[in-house]
């Protein structure tokens, strides 16, 4: 019997860059939460490992994080199991929404069940951390303080359900290039008060949350793709109390107290999507 699973996107309510390790990885301080936008993956046992993708074009070979997740499980156990994998994409690629990491996490969970491996979540998280910085978060979900290089997770209770509008301008951005441009710009560090920001979100105080949040990658991303800044300004002009770029871009998201207002604005922008933040 096959398995079908959803892989949920995420947003960064805040993202600070605290420094760079000697190996070149950036040290981050983030508040992250999954949202209702998702990809869907199905898995069936097979002698060989094969994959098809429906939707936005992604590499299907060894560079794809889903295929790498399957191979990582085989490598960890010294086996060579196979599966037919079908990925239906809805999360934009290169958008700062963690779509590739979410797909990778979903593959680890689904193949662990399909192949009856019975690996604990801690093992999947350890394997996932070798595949992508956001994979551990995508495995655990919920509202979380994420630090280090994405490998230090502190869950936060009471994840809020907030209506969001998302728009992804251009063809997305390269994460390494955005970080490189951030370093070139020599931007300072804004400390993140995780507790205060999470409290604002839980209370629905989106203006307070806006004042406490930041995204250190917005400035370099806007410099590389001015449409990002234009959409952020447009959302503010429409009265959105909270506007941020997610991750390294290029997705801009706006949060609203009122669902009807959010849905109405989503209909005004070609390609925009309505979503909920989720537990």
Distance between CA 95 and CA 84 in Å, rounded?
27
Query: What mean pLDDT is reported for the chain?
Result: 94
Which of 129, 139, 83 lies closest to 109, judged by CA?
A: 139
The per-residue pLDDT for range 83-108, each reduced to its tens digit, is 999 999 999 999 999 999 999 999 99
Average pLDDT for residues 68-73, to the nearest whole number?
Answer: 98
Inter-residue contact 250 to 95 (CB < 8 Å): yes
Distance between CA 236 and CA 83 in Å, rounded?
46
| Pairing status of strand 49-54 against strand 82-88 | parallel
Distance between CA 151 and CA 126 in Å, rounded?
9
pLDDT at position 61 is 53
What structural domains does the chain harbor?
Answer: 3-155 (3.30.230.10), 163-276 (3.30.70.890)
* Percent of the chain scoring above 70 in pLDDT: 97
pLDDT at position 186 is 86
pLDDT at position 137 is 97
* Residue 131 tokens, joined: 């595949």
Residue 84's Cβ-side half-sphere holds a number of Cα atoms within 13 Å equal to 6
Is the model's pLDDT at 62 over the cut of 70? no
The residue ranges of DSSP E strands in 24-75, in sequence order, are 26-46, 49-54
Inter-residue contact 275 to 246 (CB < 8 Å): no
* Residue 248 tokens, joined: 């390294």
Is the model's pLDDT at 60 over the cut of 60? no
Active site residues: 10, 134
Q: Which residues pair with 59 in a beta bridge?
A: none
Residue 257: which region, alpha, beta or left (left: phi > 0; alpha: psi -120 to 50)? alpha
pLDDT band at 55 (very low <50, low <70, confident <90, very high): confident
pLDDT at position 90 is 95
Average pLDDT for residues 124-138, to the nearest whole number?
Answer: 95
Is the model's pLDDT at 204 over the cut of 90? yes
Distance between CA 142 and CA 203 in Å, rounded?
17
Is the model's pLDDT at 59 over the cut of 70? no
Is the model's pLDDT at 56 over the cut of 70? no
pLDDT at position 58 is 59
pLDDT band at 189 (very low <50, low <70, confident <90, very high): confident
pLDDT at position 57 is 54
The per-residue pLDDT for range 226-276, each reduced to its tens digit, is 999 999 999 999 999 999 999 999 999 999 999 999 999 999 998 899 999
pLDDT at position 5 is 98
What is the CA 163 to chain-centroid distance, rounded?
Answer: 17
The per-residue pLDDT for range 132-170, each reduced to its tens digit, is 989 999 999 999 999 999 889 999 999 999 999 999 998
Q: Which has the higher per-residue pLDDT, 62 or 99?
A: 99
Helix ranges restricted to H, the chain: 65-77, 99-114, 121-129, 135-140, 175-185, 194-203, 206-212, 218-224, 226-237, 259-268
């Amino acid at each position: 019997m096959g398995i079908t699973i959803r892989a949920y996107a995420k947003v960064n309510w805040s993202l600070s860059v605290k420094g760079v390790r000697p190996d070149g990885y950036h040290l981050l301080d983030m508040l992250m939460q999954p949202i209702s936008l998702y990809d869907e993956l199905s898995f069936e046992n097979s002698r060989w490992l094969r994959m098809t993708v429906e939707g936005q074009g992604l590499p299907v070979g060894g560079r794809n994080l889903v295929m790498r997740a399957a191979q990582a499980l085989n490598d960890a156990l010294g086996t060579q199991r196979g599966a037919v994998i079908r990925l239906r994409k809805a999360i934009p690629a290169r958008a700062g929404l963690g779509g590739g990491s979410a797909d990778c996490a979903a593959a680890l969970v689904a193949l662990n069940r399909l192949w009856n491996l019975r690996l604990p979540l801690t093992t999947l998280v350890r394997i996932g951390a070798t595949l992508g910085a956001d994979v551990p978060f995508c495995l655990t979900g919920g509202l979380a303080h994420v630090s280090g290089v994405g490998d230090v997770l502190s869950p936060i209770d009471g994840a809020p359900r907030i209506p969001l509008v998302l728009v992804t301008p251009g063809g997305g951005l390269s994460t390494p290039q955005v970080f490189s441009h951030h370093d070139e710009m020599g931007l300072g560090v804004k400390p993140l008060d995780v507790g205060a920001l999470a409290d604002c979100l839980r209370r629905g105080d989106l203006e307070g949350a806006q004042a406490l949040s930041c995204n250190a990658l917005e400035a370099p991303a806007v410099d590389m793709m001015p449409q990002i800044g234009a959409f952020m300004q447009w959302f503010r002009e429409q009265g959105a109390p909270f506007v941020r770029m997610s991750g390294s871009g290029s997705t801009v998201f706006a949060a609203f107290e009122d669902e009807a207002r959010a849905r109405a604005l989503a209909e005004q922008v070609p390609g925009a999507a309505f979503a909920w933040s989720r537990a």
